[in-house]
Amino acid sequence: MNDNRSVIVMRAVQEIQDGMVVNLGIGLPTMVANYIPENVNVMLHSENGLLGIGPYPVTGEEDPDLINAGKETITAISGSSFFDSAESFSMIRGGHIGLAILGGMEVSETGDLANWMIPGKMVKGMGGAMDLVSGAQRVVVIMEHVNKHGESKVKRACTLPLTGQRVVDRLITDLAVFDFTKDGMVLVELQPGATLEEVRSKTDASFKTTTELERGVTC
């Protein structure tokens, strides 16, 4: 991972609490599994039919039959279980996933999420994201703050096809952490080295700040 992505992943790990059932989305979120502290007992869920995902396997010890939803080889922890996709999505739609950590292409100031396709580019399908944003008890999105062209991915309104409307509870970028409340989008933390001025200059969305941040103190 580059430094920006490392900052995002290490902050996302803090969202995971002991005893949770957690779904990690395809891409950057899958890296979170490698950094969960050993004293935190968590069951990682994959919508392709596994509860109890472990870290990535050591090179040379991969099992091609053990994969996550992103088709990456993984390991299974003691006590894990396997089931079909119908059972897996019943868990999601039944509200049994405590936390979903998903990647994002765009997030709007109202908590809309776009993360499943870019028009004109071939995609295999929408995956489980649309179910996760509506069925998980809490949705945290992690992504870099700007795209490769330097344009903000934190938008007033998403320009890409939506995965869900008003579904994001928390957004973690390489610059900041935002919460979405009934009063709007709120900046609650600055990432190490980031400044309030930088976040404002690189954010298309309108947001509020906490008193602590205005005083120059991170939450």
CA nearest 167: which of 131, 206, 124, 216?
131
Distance CA(212)–CA(181), nearest Å, equals 18
Distance CA(206)–CA(185), nearest Å, equals 7
* pLDDT at residue 55, rounded to an integer: 82
Query: What letter would DSSP give residue 28?
Result: G
106 counts as catalytic: no
Distance CA(171)–CA(180), nearest Å, equals 8
* pLDDT at residue 125, rounded to an integer: 67
Pairing state between β 21-24 and 99-103: parallel
Q: What is the pTM of this model?
A: 0.93
Of 15, 38, 47, 72, the active-site residue reads 47
Distance CA(84)–CA(47), nearest Å, equals 9
172-183 per-position pLDDT tens digit: 999 999 999 998
The residues of the chain scoring below 50 in pLDDT are 218-219
Dihedral angle over CA of 122, 125, 128, 134, nearest 10: 90
What is the CATH code of the structural domain delimited by 3-214? Answer: 3.40.1080.10
In the chain, where the domains are located: 3-214
* pLDDT at residue 140, rounded to an integer: 98
